[in-house]
Amino acid sequence: MTKKILTGNQAVALGALRAGVKVATGYPGTPSTGCVAHLLTLDLPGRHVEWSSNEKVAFEIASGAAWAGHRSLCTMKMSGVNVAYDALISIAYSGTNGGLVIYVADDPGVSAGMPEQDSRGFALMSQLPMLEPATPAEAYDLVQTAFELSEKTGSPVFLRLTTAVALGHAVVETEDPVSPKEIDPILEKDITRYTKAGSKICLDQHQALIDRLAHAGQVVHEMGLNQLCLSNQAGGVGIVCVGAVNAYLSEALEAQIASNASVLEARTTIPFPADEVRELLGHCQAILVLEELEPYVEQGVYVAAQRVGFDGRIIGKLDGTLSPIGEYGIA
């Protein structure tokens, strides 16, 4: 392994190369620009890297390569998901053959002058898995995991960074790139999978999409991506956090600000870490949910709490304690 100082964007790029990505496409826009920009500085024989004319075109090119069986990466900022979504939801229904990873960078705090759009809403609406690294080092590892998850489930997988992770620098241990697999392209004619020619086809594809997300939840659980650490004594406070907030909480724990709390460090909002949340609810009297922007995880915690009859307090945005606006940090 080689230690390098990388941004989160560069870590995603190098992690994708380590995963054997064949095609990488994107449309520039802070905070995600640095990923494809870094790939374009490298000599990458046997791979295709391009800036596309827009995010929809970028996604369609990457999807075509994935349908042919190759690992493909498509990058965009949060607003670009709006542009790509017409193609994205259709291809989500059809599924993929090779691994297809959609790297999207959100911007809590509006450092780049765009809206505080939370792309997790698109993952929920599309019923697609989304992995959320807290650091550049995690970004390097989780983009590789995303390709693996995509191929195990047959679905595209989102990788979501925020500005702090995408543009932040950190020491990352990297390995040599892996060449793309030499395979014959999959050229499959299947009207029931690749078209939307009638309600029966679409309904069947929707059910298949739901089933793939359920399978993704099982795979994520087996991988141990969502890490639960219970305190020695039951009845205290439990903290649920996801994405960049995991790194901030780790700093707080090192400073012993919340050293007696039980902690669930989630790396997925979708699929929701239901098993870990239920275990946390059974151990704690109060739950604090820490997530930037929209309260998607918090909503899931409320649903889980109702199902298990939890009568403690849930602290977050829905009770007015925290704001859905702005970027978190260490005070």
What's the confidence (pLDDT) of residue 113? 72
Q: What are phi and psi of 57, to 5 degrees?
A: -65, -45
> 258: pLDDT confidence band, cut at 50, 70 and 90?
low
Provide the pLDDT confidence category of residue 259 given band limits of 50, 70 and 90.
low
**φ, ψ at 48 (rounded to 5°):** -120, 125
- pLDDT value, residue 260: 80
Distance CA 145, CA 143 (A): 5
pLDDT of residue 330: 66
pLDDT one-digit tens code per residue, 272-321:
999 999 999 999 999 999 999 999 999 999 999 999 999 999 999 999 99
Tokens of 132: 């959320």
Q: What pLDDT score does 252 carry?
A: 79
Q: Shortest CA distance to 18 belongs to which of 99, 75, 96, 134?
A: 99
Mean pLDDT over 242-255 rounds to 87
* Conformation bin of residue 326: beta by default, left when phi > 0, alpha when psi is -120 to 50: left
pLDDT value for 114: 81
Question: All domains of the chain, ordered by start, with CATH?
Answer: 2-223 (3.40.50.970), 227-315 (3.40.50.920)
Q: Is the pLDDT of residue 257 over 90?
A: no
User: How does pLDDT run across 159-202, given as a tens digit for each residue?
Assistant: 999 999 999 999 999 999 999 999 999 999 999 999 999 999 99
Share of the chain above pLDDT 90, in %: 93
- 292 near 328, Cβ under 8 Å? yes
For position 39, what pLDDT does the model report? 98
Query: In this predicted model, which residue has the larger pLDDT, 330 or 299?
Result: 299
Q: DSSP letters of 96-140?
A: -SS-EEEEEEE-TT-TTSS----THHHHHHHT--EE--SSHHHHH
According to DSSP, the residues that pair with 162 across neighbouring strands are: 106
**Contact in structure between 297 and 318 (CB atoms under 8 Å):** no
In sequence order, what are the beta bridge partners of 7?
169
- Which residue stretches of the chain are H helix? 8-18, 34-39, 55-67, 78-94, 120-126, 136-153, 163-167, 191-194, 199-223, 245-254, 274-283, 296-308
pLDDT in tens, 69-98: 999 999 999 999 999 999 999 999 999 999
